[in-house]
Amino acid sequence: MKGIIRKLFSPNQEAEIPTQPLDMNSHPNHQSGGENPLEPHQLVVCCGQSIGRQRNHNEDALFAMTTTLTGDNRVIPFGLYIVADGMGGHQHGEVASGVAIRTMATQLLNKLYLPLLSVKPVSPDESLQEIMQSSVQDAHIAILKQVPGGGTTLTAMLIIGDQMTIAHVGDSRAYAITRDGQIDVLTRDHSLVKRLVELGQLSKDEAAIHPQRNVLYRALGQGEPFEPDVKTIHLPGSGYLLLCSDGLWSVVPEHELYQIITKAKSSEEACKRLIEAANEAGGPDNISAILIRLPG
Amino acid sequence: MEPKSTSQESWQLQPGFTLADRYLIQSVIGMGGMGAVYRACDLHFPNVVKLVAVKEMINQAHDPVVRQTIVQNFEREANLLATLDHPAIPRIYDYFTSNERSYLILEYIKGKDLEAILNESEEPLQEERVIPWAIEICDVLNYLHSHSPEPIIFRDMKPSNVMINQHNHVVLVDFGIAKQFQIGQKGTMIGTEGYSPPEQYRGEASHLADIYALGATLHHLLCKRDPRLEPPFSFGERPLRKINPAISAGLEAIINTALQYSPEERYPSTQMMKEALLKVAQENGMLPILPSNMTKILDSEEMAKPIWTFHCQDEIRGSAMCYGTTIFVGSYDKHLYALNAQNGELIWEYSAEGGIVSRPAYHEGNIYFGSEDTRLHVVTSRYGRINWTYYTNGPVRSSPTIVEGHVFIGSDDGFLHAVHLNSGRRTWMVEAGSAIRSTPMVEHDKVYFGTESGDFYCLDFKGNIKWRFKAKRAITSSPVILDNVVYFGSLDGTLYALDSGSGWVIWRFRLGKGTISTPCVSADLIFMGAIDGVIYCIDTRTAKEVWRYTTDHQVTGSPILYKEAIYCGSVDGHLYCLDCSTGRLRWKLRTEGPITATPTVWNDMVFIGSTDHTLYALKA
Q: 10 Å Cβ neighbour count for B452?
A: 21
Per-residue pLDDT reduced to its tens digit, B345-371: 999 999 999 999 999 999 999 999 999
- The C-alpha atoms of residue B227 and residue B214 are separated, in whole angstroms, by 12
Is the whole-model pTM more than 0.90?
Answer: no
User: Pairing between strand A287-294 and B18-19?
Assistant: unpaired
Contacts of A123 in chain B (CB under 8 A): 503-505
Enumerate the domain spans of chain A. 7-21+40-294
Q: 10 Å Cβ neighbour count for A211?
A: 8
Among B180, B179, B216, smallest CA distance to B196 is for B216
Residues 6+ away with beta carbon under 8 Å from B106: B52, B53, B54, B55, B90, B91, B92, B93, B173
How far is residue A24 from each of residues A15, A148, A258, A295, B76, measured CA to CA in Å? Answer: 19, 43, 19, 9, 65
Q: What is the DSSP-derived secondary structure letter of residue A222? A: B
What DSSP string describes B279-330? HHHHHHHHSPP-HHHHHHHHHHHHB---SEEEE-SS---S--EEETTEEEEE
Q: Are B477 and B515 in contact (CB under 8 A)?
A: yes
- Decide which of B89 and A200 is more confident: B89
Q: Tell whether B507 lies on the interface with A, counting CB pairs under 8 A.
A: yes
How far is residue A258 from each of residues A88, A185, A255, A264, measured CA to CA in Å? Answer: 29, 12, 5, 10
Distance from CA of A268 to the nearest CA of B (A): 31
Average pLDDT, chain A: 82
Q: Tell whether B502 lies on the interface with A, counting CB pairs under 8 A.
A: yes
Q: Are B188 and A215 in contact (CB under 8 A)?
A: yes
pLDDT given at position B31: 75
Q: Are A61 and A100 in contact (CB under 8 A)?
A: yes
Among B570, B472, B579, B471, smallest CA distance to B525 is for B579
What stretch of H or E contains B103? strand B101-107
HSE of B305, CA atoms in CB hemisphere, 13 A: 3
- The C-alpha atoms of residue B278 and residue B135 are separated, in whole angstroms, by 7
- The C-alpha atoms of residue B591 and residue A113 are separated, in whole angstroms, by 53
Residues 6+ away with beta carbon under 8 Å from A258: A177, A181, A183
Chain B residue with minimum CA distance to A220: B187
Residues 6+ away with beta carbon under 8 Å from A118: none
pLDDT band for A87, please (50, 70, 90 cuts): confident
Distance of CA A34 to the CA centre of its chain: 35
Q: Tell whether A35 lies on the interface with B, counting CB pairs under 8 A.
A: yes
Q: Are B125 and B187 in contact (CB under 8 A)?
A: no
pLDDT given at position B299: 43
Contacts of B505 in chain A (CB under 8 A): 123-124, 126-128
pLDDT given at position B303: 73
Which residue of A116, A192, A193, A245 is the best one to mutate when testing the B interface, meaning the one whose CB has the most B CBs within 10 A?
A192
Q: Tell whether A286 lies on the interface with B, counting CB pairs under 8 A.
A: no
What stretch of H or E contains B276? helix B270-286
Helix, strand, coil share (%) of chain A residues, nearest 5: 30, 30, 45
- The C-alpha atoms of residue B270 and residue B403 are separated, in whole angstroms, by 68
pLDDT given at position B572: 92
Helix (H, G, I), strand (E, B) or coil at A83: strand
Contact call for B8 and A230, based on CB within 8 A: no
Chain A residue with minimum CA distance to B59: A149
What stretch of H or E contains B558? none
pLDDT given at position B196: 84
Which residue of B186, B490, B546 is the best one to mutate when testing the A interface, meaning the one whose CB has the most A CBs within 10 A?
B186
Query: What mean pLDDT is predicted for residues A204-226?
Result: 77
- The C-alpha atoms of residue B565 and residue B586 are separated, in whole angstroms, by 8
pLDDT given at position B175: 73
- The C-alpha atoms of residue B219 and residue B258 are separated, in whole angstroms, by 10
Contact call for B186 and A214, based on CB within 8 A: yes
Edge-to-edge, what's the strand order for the sheet holding B162-165?
B111-113, B162-165, B170-172
What DSSP string describes A140-176? HHHHHHHSTT--B-EEEEEEETTEEEEEEESS-EEEE
Assign 3-class secondary structure to B409-476.
Answer: EECCCCEEEEEECCCCCEEEEEECCCCCCCCCEEECCEEEEECCCCEEEEEECCCCEEEEEECCCCCC
Q: Is the pLDDT of residue A34 over 90?
A: no
- The C-alpha atoms of residue B315 and residue B610 are separated, in whole angstroms, by 7
Query: Where do the domains of chain B lie, and which CATH numbers do they carry?
Result: 8-107 (3.30.200.20), 112-289 (1.10.510.10), 300-393+480-619 (2.130.10.10)
C-alpha dihedral over A234, A240, A243, A245, to 10 degrees? -140
Distance from CA of A123 to the nearest CA of B (A): 7
Residues of B (46-65) whose Cβ lies below 8 Å from A: 60
Contacts of A234 in chain B (CB under 8 A): 483-485
- The C-alpha atoms of residue B254 and residue B267 are separated, in whole angstroms, by 9
pLDDT band for A23, please (50, 70, 90 cuts): very low
Q: Tell whether A3 lies on the interface with B, counting CB pairs under 8 A.
A: no
pLDDT given at position A28: 40
Comparing CB atoms, the residue among A126, A225, A231 nearest residue B229 is A225
Helix (H, G, I), strand (E, B) or coil at B40: strand
pLDDT given at position A25: 43
Per-residue pLDDT reduced to its tens digit, B591-615: 999 999 999 998 889 999 999 999 9
- The C-alpha atoms of residue B322 and residue B360 are separated, in whole angstroms, by 9
HSE of B553, CA atoms in CB hemisphere, 13 A: 13
How far is residue A291 from each of residues A81, A149, A264, B501, B589, measured CA to CA in Å? Answer: 10, 31, 12, 25, 54
What DSSP string describes A107-150? HHIIIIIHHHHSSS----SS-HHHHHHHHHHHHHHHHHHHSTT-
- The C-alpha atoms of residue B78 and residue B81 are separated, in whole angstroms, by 5
Q: How far apart are the first and last CA of chain B?
A: 77
Comparing CB atoms, the residue among A76, A148, A218 nearest residue B502 is A76
Is the dihedral angle over the CA atoms B257, B262, B264, B270 positive or is it negative? positive
Comparing CB atoms, the residue among B60, B189, B507 nearest residue A223 is B189
Q: Are B515 and B530 in contact (CB under 8 A)?
A: yes
Among B516, B567, B511, smallest CA distance to B543 is for B511
Is the ipTM of this structure higher than 0.85?
Answer: no
Q: What angle do CA A240, A271, A48 make, to 5 degrees?
A: 115
- The C-alpha atoms of residue B307 and residue B310 are separated, in whole angstroms, by 11
Q: Tell whether A39 lies on the interface with B, counting CB pairs under 8 A.
A: no
pLDDT given at position B10: 54
Tell me which amino acid residue A183 is: I
Residues of A (257-276) whose Cβ lies below 8 Å from B: none
pLDDT given at position A69: 84
* Residue numbers of chain B with a pLDDT score lower than 50: 1-9, 178-191, 286-301
- The C-alpha atoms of residue B545 and residue B527 are separated, in whole angstroms, by 10
Contacts of A52 in chain B (CB under 8 A): none
pLDDT given at position B5: 37
Residues of A (152-211) whose Cβ lies below 8 Å from B: 160-163, 165, 170, 190, 192, 195-196, 198-199, 201
Distance from CA of B186 to the nearest CA of A (A): 5
Q: 10 Å Cβ neighbour count for B193?
A: 22
Tell me which amino acid residue B309 is: T
Q: Tell whether B508 lies on the interface with A, counting CB pairs under 8 A.
A: yes
Among A61, A62, A64, A49, smallest CA distance to A17 is for A64
- The C-alpha atoms of residue A88 and residue A78 are separated, in whole angstroms, by 33
pLDDT given at position B172: 92
Q: Tell whether B485 lies on the interface with A, counting CB pairs under 8 A.
A: yes
pLDDT given at position B508: 94
Distance of CA A9 to the CA centre of its chain: 16
Q: Tell whether B470 lies on the interface with A, counting CB pairs under 8 A.
A: no
For A10-24, A161-175, A223-237, B542-556, which range has the lowest pLDDT when averaged over its residues? Answer: A10-24
**Superfamily classification of domain A7-21+40-294:** PPM-type phosphatase domain (3.60.40.10)
Chain B residue with minimum CA distance to A234: B483
- Of all residues in chain A, the percent with pLDDT exceeding 90 is 49
Residues of B (327-366) whose Cβ lies below 8 Å from A: none
Residues 6+ away with beta carbon under 8 Å from B133: B114, B162, B164, B170
Q: What is the DSSP-derived secondary structure letter of residue B267? A: -
Task: Respond yes or no on whether the N-terminal peptide bond of residue A225 is cis (omega within 30° of 0).
Answer: yes
Mark B458-494 as b/e (b = at least 16 C-beta within 10 Å).
bbebeeeebbebebeebbbbbbbbbebbbbbbbbbbb
pLDDT given at position A73: 67
pLDDT given at position B11: 76
Contacts of A146 in chain B (CB under 8 A): 8
Q: Tell whether A76 lies on the interface with B, counting CB pairs under 8 A.
A: yes
